[in-house]
Amino acid sequence: MELSVLDVLLFIVATIITIWFYFQNSYRYWDKRQVPYLKPVFPYGNSTTLLQKDSLPAGEVYNWYNELKNKGHQFGGVWSFSRPVFVVLDPEYIKDILTKDFHHFVNREIYCNEKHDPLGTNLFNIEEQSWKLLRQKLTPTFTSGKMKMMFKSIVDCSDNMIKFLEKKSDADEDIDIREVLASFTSDVIGNVAFGVESNSFDDSKNDIRKYGKEIFETFDLLLLLRIAAQRICPNISKKLGIKSMPDRMIEFFSNLVKTTMEYRTKNNITRPDFLQLLIDMHQEGETSEKYVNFDQIVANTLLFFIAGFDTSSTTMTFTLYELARCPDIQEKTRQEIQKVLSKHENKLTYEALQEMTYLQQVVDEAMRIWPPLITLGRICTRDYRLRDSDIVIEKGTPVVISTLGLGRDPRYYADPEKFDPERFSSEEKNKRHPYIHIPFGEGPRNCIGLRFGLMQSKIGIIRILTNFRIHISTKTKMPLTVDPSIFLLKSNETLYLKAEKM
């Protein structure tokens, strides 16, 4: 039977009306539960656009935080399209969700398809049933002893960065500092995660740097469509087998790990890196509690690359930006570094790094204003009654926290736009709620690699400050603003610096 044009039009209209009624029913969700909420708009809810780079873009969560704060709320409801989302502002509630009542919020608000996409399933996105066991296996790879083992490799990787900056300084050229630091972290992660020695400053065909750019910088319509599907209908996406990353990227890193493992085993080679730790666990055999299979090695080595590459380069970028804007603080930081190094025969060692307390304050203050992970997301895994209230967060509800909102909230930080490392002196930190500054998350599911990330970031900053004085280039468009489309921090503007040799 052939359909007429009228039949088709009627079908389309009926479908739109059905969808509209579905959304309108969803948009009564928070009102029925007597939760304060922001008014949604069909069909986006409180979202701004469909094709974003992440499931819950940070700019949206930051805006939700500020709107609810301005209305005097400590929490509130919003909608990501038709999906209700719970936004938490109060640090005591944040503490409950991330730590005290963590067992209700084990899963992250990140798409995971363990059945159809094992190579895309890692410690960051893996869900409740498998997370705890994998976390227990991987935790020993990030101890102080393991960090110390990798320390020299990171310092060695910074040599190429310094040589590159020296050339730029001699030529009085502008420096795209984010690109420089991304190249440095690419070399570090390639070295300690994949056992690949590279020089991203000279080799334009460096594959690891290329894929780093592809993950974080390349516009990929197909990827955005996949993320949109995961965002609007995650359960259907799982059934359809939609993966979180492009096949070509997974294939590249899988082959890299496989080749490296085979080479080391055949030639009886060991290295002081993250991949070696995983290889050792793999060789324990399936009966061992430490055993990880090949897919887990690839997935978590790739996670190590993604997390270590972007968060560390971002932390360094914005720390150097603030130091370039504040030459007096830059000089004070440099003086501490030089003083500590003089006690260690002018050698940058793991022990020397631990003594640089003002440098830690500088990095903390930079991450307050520019947190590398600007949104934390969890999924409620079982119904949860909010403390001192009758409000129940239902199983399956996404819960989001804006670290960017917390760090720039004038209720907690006077003159929040001002860069002032003294806010993170021991005395000042003790005056504040500890869950106001959580750039790496908090609780059992905080960032497992936070010590590695901070170590890598501080090494890069130290190497630059001991060799150069840095200034903001006139080429930089000020002030810097945040790209709202991703949960990992990135500025809309390119940050150019000038480096003056010491």
pLDDT tens digits for 343-370? Answer: 999 999 999 999 999 999 999 999 999 9
Q: What is the pLDDT of residue 8?
A: 56
Q: Whose CA is closest to 452, among 464, 460, 444, 442?
A: 460
Strand partners, 384: 393
pLDDT score recorded for residue 238: 65
Distance between CA atoms of 223 and 226, rounded to whole angstroms? 5
- The pTM of this model reads 0.88
Residues 6+ apart with CB under 8 A from 183: 161, 164, 200, 201, 209
Those residues whose C-beta lies under 8 Å from the C-beta of residue 387, and which sit 6 or more positions away, are: 92, 93, 96
H or E stretch covering 429: helix 426-429
According to CATH, what is the number of the domain 5-501?
1.10.630.10
Q: What is the pLDDT of residue 276?
A: 87
For 246: left if phi > 0, alpha if psi spans -120 to 50, otherwise beta; the answer is beta
Question: How far is residue 447's CA from residue 54's CA, in Å, rounded to a whole number?
Answer: 19
Amino acid at 242: I
Q: Is 233 labeled as ligand-binding? A: no
Close Cβ partners of 44 (under 8 Å, ≥ 6 residues apart): 50, 81
The amino acid occupying position 148 is K
Say what the pLDDT of residue 486 is.
Answer: 60
Strand partners, 175: 497
Sheet with 398-401, edge to edge strand ranges = 75-80, 83-88, 398-401, 376-379, 107-108
- The full set of domain ranges for the chain reads 5-501
Preceding peptide of 43 cis, ω within 30°? yes
Q: Take residue 320 and report the two structure tokens written for it.
A: 């150097």
Q: What is 438-500 written as a DSSP string?
A: -BTB-STTS-TTHHHHHHHHHHHHHHHHTTEEEEE-TTS-SS--B-TT-SB--BSS--EEEEE
Partnered with residue 400 across adjacent β-strands are 87, 377
pLDDT in tens, 436-472: 999 999 999 998 889 999 999 999 999 999 999 999 9
d(CA 299, CA 10): 48
SS3 174: coil
Which pair of structure tokens corresponds to residue 27?
A: 């948009």
**Cis omega before residue 439 (within 30°)?**
no
Place of tokens 């795209």: 176
pLDDT, position 215:
55
For the chain, 502 residues long, the average pLDDT of each consecutive 10-residue run is 58 59 75 93 77 52 94 95 92 97 91 72 80 88 89 94 96 95 89 81 64 54 57 62 70 85 88 86 88 89 76 93 97 98 96 97 97 91 94 95 96 97 97 95 92 95 98 92 68 91 90
- Residue 109 near residue 400, CB atoms below 8 Å: yes
Q: Which residues contact 433 (CB under 8 A, 6 or more apart)?
A: 91, 92, 95, 412
Which candidate, 203, 189, 204, 201, places its Cα nearest to that of 253? 189
Give the list of residues 6+ apart from residue 285 with CB closer than 8 angstroms, or none: 291
Sign of CA dihedral 115, 116, 122, 125: negative
CB atoms within 10 A of CB 398: 22
Whole-angstrom distance, CA of residue 321 vs CA of residue 472: 7
